Structure 1
Amino acid sequence: MSHMQPLDENFPIERQLAVEAAPVVLINLFTLDAADEARFLDVWKDDAAFMKRQPGFISTQLHRAIGESPTYLNYAVWDSTEAFRAAFTHPEFRSKLGAYPSSAIARPHLFQKVGVAGICTA
């Protein structure tokens, strides 16, 4: 991918990879030109198939913004930061990033569930 930008400029994905946490959720927000959607989906599918084979991968789901917005959100669950880091920095995965359309901008960020009493569990 020719364009990767932090969702939080103060704590980009490269810094997050050093934090040991388990489990973790990757949220990756993609924006791109509408003309590039078919190619984007082909490349994302290939990347997702690679990730699915990696140790510590639990699940993923791709979402598309409603209407005419060519914006996508990927939600992926991993056993740990360690497992995600190994997959995300794997040479095979890194070599695939150049296949994304030049208009695609990715904004990856790692999260953990938060428990809020009476509303949701961690």
Structure 2
Amino acid sequence: MPSDASSTPTNGPVTFVNRFTVRSSAEEFERVFIETSEFMAGRPGFLQNTLLRHIDGPGTYLNIAQWRDLAAFRSAVSHPEFQPHAAALREISTSEPNLYQPRHTFTAASGQ
């Protein structure tokens, strides 16, 4: 696939979206995820994350994490102390990770 340099985020915020299918109890997955989130929250460039649980499929979760820029995200996931967190999540779930660059944001009209 050809590289399109104009679409590669070199600076500015990125959003990491990861869909998890859990093979353990919800409680165990959420405990391991919280430990991972606490580690990530201490990394430079981390802005926030939200863990969502599917309403009709309780074994499916979605993590949405926002980072200052691509370099900060890559630094966090390549940090040696992240590897045990990633391994713990892989033990109890499968995931589909993807990175996104913001394009448009809409908010509710005032008074709604």
Same fold (TM over 0.5): yes
Q: What is the Cα deviation at residue 53 of structure 1?
A: 0.6
Q: Is residue 2:40 matched to residue 1:47?
A: no
- In structure 1, runs of 5+ residues without a counterpart are 1-9, 11-17
- In structure 2, runs of 5+ residues without a counterpart are 2-7, 108-112
| Equivalent residue for 1:22, pick from 6, 12, 24 | 12
Alignment coverage as a number of residue pairs:
101
Q: What is the Cα deviation at residue 36 of structure 1?
A: 2.9
Assess if the C-alpha contact under 8 Å between 1:56 and 1:84 holds in 2.
yes
1-structure distance, mates of 2:11, 2:85? 26
| 1:1-122 correspondence runs (5 A) | 20-33=10-23, 35-100=24-89, 102-115=91-104, 120=106
Give TM-score scaled by structure 1 length: 0.72
> Per the alignment, do residues 63 and 85 of structure 1 end up closer, same or farther by CA in structure 2, a change over 3 Å counting?
same
1:3 maps to: none
Q: What is the Cα deviation at residue 49 of structure 1?
A: 0.2
Taking only the aligned residue pairs, the percentage that are identical comes to 34
- RMSD over aligned Cα, in angstroms? 2.2
Greater CA radius of gyration, 1 or 2? 2
With CA pairs under 8 Å and 6+ residues apart, which has the higher RCO, 1 or 2? 1
- Tell me the secondary structure at the aligned position of residue 35 of structure 2: helix
Give TM-score scaled by structure 2 length: 0.78
Assess if the C-alpha contact under 8 Å between 1:39 and 1:100 holds in 2.
no
